[in-house]
Amino acid sequence: MLNIESIHLHPNFENILKKEEELNEKATLEFATLKNIPVKDAMDMNHALELMRFTSEYIGEFKRNKIPKDVIANPF
């Protein structure tokens, strides 16, 4: 999960992130209950979906050239 204590954001944005995280945890618990699966498995699925969504958005922004190429680290 996102550790918002280590990131300095505008207070309004921090409140939004906290509310989103609370709703996300509640939805994960409900999903685990409905599907009769362990909460840990539901959390793993949720994290995988979040990572896929972030990656998809990042690639979309990169393709639209909204992320400057000098921001992307060269691993070599």
In this predicted structure, what is the pLDDT of residue 5? 58
In this predicted structure, what is the pLDDT of residue 33? 92
Task: Answer whether residue 35 is part of any domain.
Answer: yes
> How many domains are contained in the chain?
1
Q: Per residue of the chain (76 residues), what is the pLDDT tens digit?
A: 555 556 566 777 778 888 988 988 898 899 899 999 999 999 999 889 888 888 888 777 777 776 666 666 555 4
Residue-range definition of the domain harbouring residue 61: 10-68
In this predicted structure, what is the pLDDT of residue 30? 92
In this predicted structure, what is the pLDDT of residue 57? 81
SS (H, E, C) the chain: CCCHHHCCCCHHHHHHHHHHHHHHHHHHHHHHHHHCCCHHHHHHHHHHHHHHHHHHHHHHHHHCCCCCHHHCCCCC
Task: Answer whether residue 49 is part of any domain.
Answer: yes
